[in-house]
């Protein structure tokens, strides 16, 4: 069992992470390192982060249910690609040792930070209609595999894909992104539980905090510009990336 102080720290990380996810995205940048800080091994920390933040994703999906695209074919194809990709990424993570994951973690953080920084610009490109559903499904499978393995910035990658398909309705795009993210992490979580990589007593306070933070984030969104939150997340993410690279050079 973890201490009361550790539970409080994880609850706060989950609350802040859940709030940031609901406003600007990037909450895992806070939750994942908090799990490393309390001594969870890297692979288990990544798996536990995905599990702990999943309930907040479910609540967000419910909130967006009326905004989902109505094309059943698109929903089914993307859902299958997402679930299969999430499971594939999770299995790849589970076959990675803690030592190997620690060595490639700086690169994963660099990729996630870069996507979080430059992804919105790509997502706003108006090249609509050039990417057919079959091609988009392949791209979605690759994004989902990345999501099951690590996942930082995968939401922005999905928005960019939807834009290249010609989608323009922001609420529909966010709804679809949230639904697919839930499926990606849900499929990955099943693999993580089967492999006993989820640290339950660490996941619970983060999950409770994330749900609380998700609700609070809705109120924050009305009083604070999301771009300001993004700036905070960007500073934290790049600082964390530099720290991981420096730490890797020392070991």
Cα angle vertex 155, ends 104, 10, to 5°?
65
SS3 content of the chain, % helix, strand, coil (to 5): 80, 0, 20
CA 24, distance to chain mean position in Å, is: 12
Q: What is the pLDDT of residue 180?
A: 92
Report CA torsion sign: 33, 18, 74, 173.
negative
3-class SS of residue 230: helix
Which tokens is 31 given? 């939750």
Please compute Rg for the chain using Cα positions: 17
In this structure, are residues 85 and 148 in contact, taking their beta carbons and an 8 Å threshold?
yes
CA 153 to CA 176: how far, in whole Å? 15
CA dihedral 196, 202, 203, 208 (to 10 degrees): 160
pLDDT band at 219, cuts 50/70/90? low
Average of per-residue pLDDT across 79-101: 95
What element of type H or E holds 44?
A: helix 42-63
pLDDT of residue 226: 62
Length of the chain: 251
- Report the SS3 class of residue 153: coil
**What is the residue extent of each domain of the chain?**
4-244
> 216: how many CB neighbours lie within 10 A of its CB?
16
Give CA–CA dist 113/246, Å, rounded. 16
Contacts of 232 (CB under 8 A, 6+ apart): 20
Q: Are 2 and 209 in contact (CB under 8 A)?
A: no
| Higher-scoring residue by pLDDT: 27, 24 | 27
pLDDT band at residue 167 under the 50/70/90 scheme: confident
Is the pLDDT confidence value at 57 over 90?
A: no
**Whole-number average pLDDT of the chain:** 84
Tokens of 163: 């834009």
């Amino acid at each position: 069992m973890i201490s009361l102080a550790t539970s409080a720290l994880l609850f706060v990380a989950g609350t802040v992470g859940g709030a940031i996810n609901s406003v600007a995205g990037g909450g895992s940048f806070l939750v994942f390192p908090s799990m490393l800080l309390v001594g969870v091994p890297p692979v288990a920390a990544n798996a536990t982060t995905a599990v702990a933040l999943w309930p907040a994703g479910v609540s967000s999906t419910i909130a967006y249910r009326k905004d989902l695209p109505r094309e059943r074919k698109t929903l089914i194809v993307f859902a299958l690609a997402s679930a299969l990709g999430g499971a594939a990424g999770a299995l790849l993570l589970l076959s990675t040792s803690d030592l190997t994951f620690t060595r490639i973690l700086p690169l994963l953080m660099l990729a996630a930070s870069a996507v979080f920084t430059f992804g919105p610009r790509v997502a706003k490109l108006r090249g609509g209609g050039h990417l057919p559903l079959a091609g988009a499904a392949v791209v979605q499978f690759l994004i989902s595999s990345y999501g099951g393995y690590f996942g930082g910035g995968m939401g922005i990658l999905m928005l960019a894909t939807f834009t290249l398909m010609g989608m323009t309705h922001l609420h529909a795009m966010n709804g679809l992104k949230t639904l697919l993210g839930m499926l990606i992490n849900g499929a990955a979580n099943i693999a993580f539980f089967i492999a006993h990589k989820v640290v339950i007593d660490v996941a619970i306070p983060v999950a409770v905090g994330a749900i609380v933070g998700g609700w609070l984030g809705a109120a924050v969104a009305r009083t604070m510009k999301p771009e300001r939150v993004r700036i905070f997340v960007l500073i934290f993410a790049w600082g964390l990336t530099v720290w991981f690279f420096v730490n890797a050079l020392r070991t």
